[in-house]
Structure 1
Amino acid sequence: MKKVVLIGTGGTIASVGRHSRDLQDYGTLGKILDAPSLAARVPELAEVAEVVTIPYRAVPSTQLGFAEWRELVGIIHEQVAADPAIGGFVVTHGTASLEETAYFLSLTLKCAQPVVITGAQRPSSAISGDGPINILNAVRVAASDEARGMGALVLLNDEIQAAREVTKTSTFRMQTFRTPDFGVLGQADADSVNFYRRPVRKAAPDTEFDIAGLTGLPRVDVAYTHCDADGVAIDAYVAAGAKGIVTAGFAPGFVTPAMAKALEVAHAAGVVVAMSCRAGSGRVFRTTRIREAGFLVADNLNPQKARILLALALTRTSDPAEIARMFATY
């Protein structure tokens, strides 16, 4: 059996509630299991892989960001360097920011082993909790040869999704993680792990982003569009030192006139502006107005993922043409 390293970061999947019906307020208890304790609740893991656990964090995923992402990348690289025979990695994670961690890892990891991020909609103490089966299936996917070369993957509810494409779509439903435009890559069924398509956008380990030595990312903020939205937030972001701004615009990527004016001022001051949309599905195309303003477009990335890509792009270049190429590549 392959060796799979399981790294725990906390989240709902590791949380313990007051009782079996505590499905919503368990976070206030503050009890979160570490990776060894979590794996011990899934004895079936021994039937599918040799699982080694690393108790990295035990926090809600709302507390995770670049510092933790950098450490996760470092842990994975260290493990591979120490034992190149490792078959894959599983990261247990809270679902709130799971897609962002997954996309960051998919852009920055430099190892060929599959990395699968999983979580749960119900805490470990819940009746009919989904954590154990998600962990088991994530390990099975991480140990699969077919999972190589697709960047970081996300596994919940028996479904395998690409980190770039997947997003959380519901607060409490089990089928919350969806890929709106393209659907799943495959499924982890009881008898076998099956893939049916592969993403074509570049992903780990074949990316140009290297975070080694970085102490932080350039500041990139997301400006949300709504009726009557003005430029106050955009002005504040610029004043705070933003190097980039991503819009969560009206579909298919428009903003209010007041926001557009503030963005033009920001762009003239050297801030890179990328237009995304709040719809959760579909591309933003470069209209004549967007092109004349000098703004970039985020393709079909949602705002939170466009923010990550733009921040990483700004560690490499400030050339708009080069950043546009990256949005078309990743």
Structure 2
Amino acid sequence: MGKGPLDLIDYGSLGQVLDVKGVIARVPELALVADVIPVPFKAIPSTALGWPEWKELLLICDRLSAEHPDLAGIVVTHGTASLEETAYFLSLTLKIPQPVVLVGAQRPASALAGDGPMNLLNGCRVAADPRARGLGALVLLNDEIQAAREVTKTSTLRMQTFRTPDFGVLGQADADAIVWYRKPLRRLAPDTEFDVRGMEALPRVDVAYVYAGADGAAIEAFVAAGAKGIVTAGFAPGYVTPAMSAAMAAAVKKGVAVVLSSRAGSGRVGRTTKNAALGFVTADNLNPQKARILLALALAHGVTDLERVFAEY
């Protein structure tokens, strides 16, 4: 909540966050599209979310699916900062048949012409659509339905911030209908090899940003901190500096998995003879923050064929 209807940037300084009942109360039109069951979780900024909250959210989804046999779907309200990461984690680990749709808002609930209410309503419409089943976790903002694996936040303030750069939307939530145009082909929930319900933690995986003149200090620090995996946000199409490459090669010899991603925001990282010889894995077209999640899950499950994992998911 902000200081007034024109506070579109500084609203977080007040620390006022609506809980799920408060959010739903602002959108009475939800009753026109679904019978909504409010489920309290944590009314905290998405910058504060990570593994503990992801696992708790996963268990809540399990419980709701078991308790409500007639449940059509689940909608998760989420801050936009880390929304794509939560969505991808769920898309890799959910084991329930119902679709899970994540929605957010670029403007606070107190803003003039806020986008939250329509995003929430459309999220419920998508979650209730039988055609959403089997597509993993989905993201719905700005009337657009996106796949969790592919969508990313591309703008700090614009309403059309969530985009799928390489492939585009799965469908759209229009006023007269939910329309679909394509399906993702990569493996996703509930048909995955990842089950984290009995896990207390995920292995540490860090992201190293690549820039002109970067040395190996960050890589060495991550290894010293106990990283089991490192993902690079490399020069397009996935290159790193010579100094970083040397530090990464040393990390591999110590048993640390190294995955090459790109900071470009679009496109695959190709597998080269040199990188293969050094033991580096390629992230395909996953961005660094999502490659980190997939790598952590693979390491947690003892997967050794990481190239296969990044090719399948």
Residue 229 (structure 1) aligns with: 214
**Alignment partner of 1:165 is 2:145:** no
Q: Tell me the residue number matched to 1:146.
A: 131
**Structure 2 counterpart of 1:44, from 29, 45, 50:** 29
Local SS of the residue matching 1:181? coil
**Which residue among 66, 80, 90 is the counterpart of 1:105?**
90
Could you say which residue in structure 1 is the equivalent of 2:310? 327
Aligned position for 1:4: none
1:311 maps to 2:308? no
Q: Give the aligned partner of residue 5 of structure 1.
A: none
Give the partner amino acid of 2:196.
Answer: I
- The AA in structure 2 aligned to 1:327 is F
Question: Residue 317 of structure 1 contacts residue 323 of structure 1 at CA under 8 Å; is this kept in 2?
Answer: no
The CA distance in 1 between the partners of 2:255 and 2:303, in whole Å, is 9
Query: Which residue pairs with 2:65 in the alignment?
Result: 80
Would you say the 8 A contact 1:275–1:284 is kept in 2? yes
Please show how residues 99-138 of structure 1 align to structure 2 within 5 Å: 99-138=84-123
> 2-side partners of 1:42 and 1:169: how far apart?
27
SS of residue paired to 1:309: helix
After TM superposition, give the deviation of residue 94 of structure 1 in Å: 0.3
Q: 5+ unaligned residues in a row in structure 1: which ranges?
A: 1-15
Cα deviation 1:22-48 (Å, max 9, x = unaligned): 100000101111001100111110000
Detail structure 1 runs of 4+ shifted over 6 Å in the superposition: none
Aligned-residue Cα RMSD (Å) equals 0.6
Q: 1:287 aligns with which of 269, 272, 275?
A: 272
SS of aligned partner of 1:54: coil
For 1:79 and 1:318, locate their aligned partners in 2 and report how far apart those are by CA, in whole Å: 30
CA contact (8 A) 1:116 1:142 kept: yes
Residue in structure 2 matched with residue 297 of structure 1 by the alignment: 282
Aligned to 1:247: 232
Deviations 1:99-123 (Å, cap 9, x if unpaired)? 0000000000000101000000000
SS of 1:52's equivalent in the other structure is coil
Paired amino acid for 2:230 = I
SS at match of 2:206: strand
Deviations 1:257-310 (A, max 9, x none): 000000000000000000000000000011111111111000000000000000
Provide the residue aligned with 2:251 in structure 1. Answer: 266
Q: Percent of aligned positions with the same letter in both sequences?
A: 66
Render the CA deviation track for 1:102-157: whole Å, top value 9, x for unaligned: 00000000001010000000000000100000000000000001101100000000
Distance in structure 2 (CA, Å) of the matches to 1:40 and 1:203: 33
State the distance in 1 between where 2:77 and 2:287 align.
Answer: 23
Q: Residue deviations 1:166-189, cap 9 Å, x none?
A: 000000000000000000000000
- CA apart distance, 1:316: 1.2
Which residue type is aligned with residue 212 of structure 2? C
Question: Which whole-Å CA distance do the structure 1 matches of 2:223 and 2:303 have between them?
Answer: 16
Aligned to 1:30: 15
- The alpha carbon displacement at 1:84 in A equals 1.9
Show the counterpart of 1:277. Answer: 262
**What is the distance in 2 between the residues matched to 1:36 and 1:329?**
39
Q: How many residues align?
A: 313
Residues of 2 paired with 1:286 and 1:294: CA distance? 11
CA contact (8 A) 1:102 1:153 kept: yes
TM norm structure 2: 0.99
The equivalences for 1:56-71 within 5 A come to 56-71=41-56
| Distance apart, 1:318 and its partner CA | 4.8
Counterpart CA distance in 2 for 1:171 and 1:103 is: 20
Residue 7 of structure 1 aligns with which residue? none
Structure 1 counterpart of 2:310, which letter? F
Measure how far apart 1:82 and its partner are: 1.1
> Counterpart in 1 of 2:78?
93
Shift of 1:83: 1.4
TM-score under structure 1 length normalisation = 0.94
Aligned mates of 1:124, 1:199 — CA distance in 2: 32
CA–CA distance in 2 between the matches of 1:112 and 1:180? 28
Q: 1:318 to 1:271 in 2, by over 3 A?
A: farther
Instruction: Kindly indicate whether residue 181 of structure 2 is the aligned counterpart of residue 196 of structure 1.
Output: yes
Read off the aligned partner of 1:73 and give its amino acid letter: L
